Each structure stands twice: as C-alpha cells, then as structure tokens.
Amino acid sequence: MPRDITPELALPRRFAREMALTLLAASTALAPSRPCVARRPVLQHASAALGLLIHPSASSAAEKKPTLKEVVAQLDASIPKEERNAAGDKADHFPKIAFEGGQGQGKKVVFTVPHENLSPPDFSYIEYMWLKDASSGAIITAKKFRGSDPDLTITGFGNSGQKLTAASIDNKFGLWEGTFIVP
C-alpha cells in the first residue's frame, strides 16, 4: 500500500480502481470493432469517477477530531460559574502561578497545581490544565494529563497587564480556576 494512503482509503481506492477498469472494459466490449467513441473521453470519465471515490467527502472532513484547545474551550463553556472552585480542597486544586522573563514574547507564565495525581480509578486526578485570555476567552495553551502524570505544570506567554485565567479539571472535584494579571 502506498505511504500516502491511509487504511481507511485503501478499500475505497481499490474499489474505485476496479470500477474504473470495469467501466473501461464495458466501453470497449460494447464498442464495435472499429470504435465510434474515442477512448480519451471514456478514460476521462472513468478517472473523474475514480477521483470522486478517492477523495474524502465533506462529511468525513466534518467528523475531524477536535483539537485540545477546542476540547478545553467546550469544557470551560459548559461548566456554570457556581460549580467552579466548589468541591475539593483549595490547597490541592487552586492554580499556582509564577512568572519568568520579561521582554520579547512577553512574560513566561508557569502554571502548576499542587495536587498529586494518583492512578487507581478510585483516586482523583487532574485531567486538563489550560491558560486562557480572560478578556477574549481564547485558549493560550492546554495540556491533557493521565492519572499517573506526576508533573502538573504547563507554560504559556502573556503580555504585561494582560488578564489571564488558569484552570484545571479534576475528574472528581471539577473545575478549579484563578484569574490574575501578568506583571
């Protein structure tokens, strides 16, 4: 199988190739010994049919997996304000923010959560962490964690005076967030 063909496209491409060959064979079999139809239009028709079957349809393009930033934006939008910072221990879940650097790209924002992820299913763990611009709601950076990930840290960049929100979601204690201004 050629490298540029994914396994999902291998079967449709094989089917399309067989269909094009069948169309070509049918056109030559039905034609008299001295063809009154040129082969070029028949081949162009078959290759057009082949092209339609090989290229993914618009519906499969619409079924693309959402990006991590899109996932956390949907989570952020779906959790009401009154359910944020509402469950669990503040000392374990509230965002800790540190700043590094100063010029060029802005200040480096280091966001950590002092929670310890424990992997057995009956313990809580941080699933997602992200930084967003508090004014526009745009996600600056995001990361997904597993229950066994020990280092709950992400970094991003903010400009002096920019208002950012650091947020995380714990599988048992929900969303925890804090808003701050970049110095």
What pLDDT, in 10s, does the model give residues 73-95?
999 999 999 999 998 888 888 99
Instruction: State which CATH number among 3.40.50.720, 3.60.40.10, 3.40.50.300, 2.60.40.730 fits the domain covering 68-181.
Output: 2.60.40.730
pLDDT at position 10 is: 45
Give 53-57 contacts, CB < 8 A, sequence gap 24+.
53/12, 53/13, 53/15, 53/16, 53/19, 54/9, 54/12, 54/13, 54/16, 56/9
Spatial separation of the C-alpha atoms in residues 22 and 151, rounded to whole Å: 59
pLDDT at position 149 is: 86
**pLDDT tens digits, residue range 37-58?**
555 665 565 555 555 444 555 5
- Domain positions in the chain: 7-62, 68-181
Task: Tell me the pTM.
Answer: 0.64
pLDDT at position 119 is: 61
pLDDT at position 12 is: 53
Alpha helices by DSSP H, listed for the chain, are 7-30, 39-54, 58-62, 68-78, 90-93
pLDDT at position 81 is: 92
pLDDT at position 116 is: 80
List of the chain residues with pLDDT < 70: 1-62, 102-105, 119-122
The dihedrals phi and psi of 158, each to the nearest 5 degrees, come to -135, 155
